[in-house]
Amino acid sequence: MLLTYIRLFLVIQLNPGVVPLGQRAIWRLEKEEKEKPSWRRHKHKQTGDIEANAYSNVGPDDDPDSPGLESFYSKDVFICESDGKPRWCHSCCTWKPDRAHHCSEIDRCVKKMDHYCPWVGGIVGETSFKYFIQFTFYASLCSIVVITACAVCTRQRIYTGHGLDGFVVAILALSGLLGFFAVTMFITSARYALQNMTNIDYLKSKNFVHNLAIRVPRGIQSCEKYKVVTYPISKSGDLATPLPGDVGARGVANERDMLATRTFAVVKTELGENPWDLGFYRNWKSVMGNNIIDWLLPLKDSPCATYENNESFYEMGPIYLRVRERFRLPHLTDDEKGFTTSKKELSSKSQAKERKQKKQEQGSQDRAHGSANL
């Protein structure tokens, strides 16, 4: 129990899983710190429901090259607003990754936030949820051992006629109270892990739907069922797919721009649908680890905290496929599915194109030279 608590406390203090602040938030904090007297300087804290209005106060960054925006449209699916843009936090001035929520207690967006717990030193989220489950599990076992020992001791004293021991009774009452709390928290947290949910997800699940931006082939147009947006977005807000040779905010659309362009269909899930539900066993492994040693010992971080995939921020389950079928979204072509934009690939393609042009020029020169000889 002590080992899991120490690991949980250190992770929360050293790696709480917060989303980096946007540049405008950094400038704002620096300005506030300079304007405040030294004896009144403290961390800026927001009040109220931060996420009630995604675009209030400080609006989203309209720059097509907004830092962090490419991490969303480089995926095949991500959580978005109704306009197809990622969710924006006006307090942190940054785009919020999937399943990230703003915590008013620490005034930061936290990845896969579950709840704020002062008993363990701070926010419980993506990086610490596994250790929180382990701590509450061992705390429950410790409470059961103490309660059992106190009950046996009290029974023996009564049987031998020594009467009740006030110290033992106090320990019994205290361990019973803390044990009830620990068992309740363990059962609740384990349930969330089996469902691949957090406390916030559960509270919103009954009356909340997700907006999904799902990648579709380029050239698909908006229809009655869904709206289509294309990234990168131009400065004028035009979401149309650029054609080779077109001139826009980014200049002439070349081969690199065309390969980097991605089109997304904006659709909604139904009430209660959890796109990240993989089934009980896979949900549990995504949080606790791949074997029983990881489940019992606080050695490795949760697999979901180190998950890296070009498809989505977190692995998605059957609901994602059902949504695609429900809206009859066309599948990506083989070229679009297997292509990853990189400078190395683009340079190799350009080099191959240059070699091909040189061969054609050399062949035409040879034919011209042969004709001259004839």
Please determine, for residue 55, whether its predicted confidence score (pLDDT) is greater than 50. no
H-helix or E-strand containing 212? strand 211-216
The reported pLDDT for the residue numbered 171 is 93
DSSP 97: P
Between CA 49 and CA 58, with CA 54 as vertex, the angle to 5 degrees is 95
In this model, does residue 188 exceed pLDDT 60? yes
Percent of the chain having pLDDT more than 90?
55
pTM of the model: 0.79
Residue 52 one-letter amino acid: A
- The pair of structure tokens assigned to 175 is 């361990």
Higher pLDDT, 66 or 37: 66
Instruction: Determine contact, residues 132/198, Cβ cutoff 8 Å.
Output: no
Query: What whole-number distance in Å separates Cα of residue 268 and Cα of residue 226?
Result: 9
Q: Comparing 238 with 121, which gets the higher pLDDT?
A: 121
95 backbone dihedrals φ, ψ, rounded to 5° = -80, 130
N residues, the chain? 374
Q: CA 132 to CA 4: how far, in whole Å?
A: 8
E strands, 54-190, are 77-79, 88-89, 94-95, 100-103, 108-111, 115-117, 122-124
Average pLDDT of the chain?
Answer: 82
Neighbours of 351 (CB within 10 A): 10
Selected residue with higher pLDDT from 315 and 369: 315
pLDDT of residue 240: 43
Phi, psi of 367 (to 5 degrees): -65, -40
Q: Per-residue confidence at 242, pLDDT binned at 50, 70, 90?
A: very low
For residues 264 and 212, give the distance between their C-alpha atoms in angstroms, rounded to a whole number.
9
The answer to whether residues 112 and 247 touch, using CB atoms and an 8 Å cutoff, is no
